[in-house]
A and B are shown apart, each in its own frame.
Chain A
Amino acid sequence: ETGVTQSPTHLIKTRGQQVTLRCSSQSGHNTVSWYQQALGQGPQFIFQYYREEENGRGNFPPRFSGLQFPNYSSELNVNALELDDSALYLCASSLGVSSGANVLTFGAGSRLTVL
């Protein structure tokens, strides 16, 4: 069984640019969540996708947007990059959205540096 894979692993952008990060969920998982992790901090929830629709959003501005595809893979897009967007972006997949142990399977992340 494959885990969660993310690409690219590292990238550098400048302020004002746009970035797209990609995630392939674990086999059999139909829900994808994205988290932002600043250095030395815990992951912060950005949004979640279930059945190709956004199913919850954290405290992030609209310039953070996403997509989920029929094969459950996902993209995170960030427009008008700001210096504070520099962080590790984590994708997590899971099965369903109902109650339960809420086990998330995380990818190793995409480290974004904004200069």
Chain B
Amino acid sequence: GQSLEQPSEVTAVEGAIVQINCTYQTSGFYGLSWYQQHDGGAPTFLSYNGLDGLEETGRFSSFLSRSDSYGYLLLQELQMKDSASYFCAVKKDTGRRALTFGSGTRLQVQP
């Protein structure tokens, strides 16, 4: 089978740093992506890790460890607008764009 595990909810305050973890068990693996989705909105791409290590994009960073089947999304200098659901997603097959998504982590940023 295949599964992605991530916490269902995280709460943090403005200006803080939050880490959202994702562990995965899949039959194939080429990379780990992160998407953000505001209520009523479309999922939007945040980051992708095809190799082990840290990828940084502004306030957001993402990490991957293939040997541990684990990754995380790090959000720094939290802003109220960061309140949203965050999904990790595994790319299993290089020949297709299909992604297997986790159930999502709902982040609530408080003032």
Partners in one complex: yes
**Contact partners of B89 in chain A: CB under 8 A:** 42
Cα(A13)–Cα(B92), bound, Å: 34
Kindly name the residue among A42, A90, A97, A98 whose own CB sees the greatest number of chain B CB atoms within 10 A: A42
**How far is the CB of A74 from the nearest CB of chain B, in Å?**
13
A68 lies within 8 A of chain B by Cβ:
no
Contact A103:B100 (CB < 8 A) given known A56-B93, A98-B94: no
Interface residues of A in 1-16 (CB under 8 A from B): 4
A44 lies within 8 A of chain B by Cβ:
yes
Task: Mark each residue of chain A from 81 to 115: 1 if its CB lies under 8 Å from any CB of chain B, else 0.
Answer: 00000000010101001110111111111000000
Cα(A12)–Cα(B99), bound, Å: 28
Pick the residue among A43, A45, A48, A99 that contacts B43 (CB under 8 A): A43
Pick the residue among B95, B99, B103 that contacts A98 (CB under 8 A): B95
**How far is the CB of B77 from the nearest CB of chain A, in Å?**
24
B48 and A103 contact, CB distance less than 8 A: yes
**How far is the CB of B42 from the nearest CB of chain A, in Å?**
4
Across chains A and B, the number of contacting residue pairs, with CB separation under 8 Å, is 76
Cα(A13)–Cα(B104), bound, Å: 28
**How far is the CB of B95 from the nearest CB of chain A, in Å?**
6
A97 and B97 contact, CB distance less than 8 A: yes
A33 and B42 contact, CB distance less than 8 A: no
A106 and B43 contact, CB distance less than 8 A: yes
B100 and A45 contact, CB distance less than 8 A: yes
Cα(A55)–Cα(B40), bound, Å: 29
A28 lies within 8 A of chain B by Cβ:
no
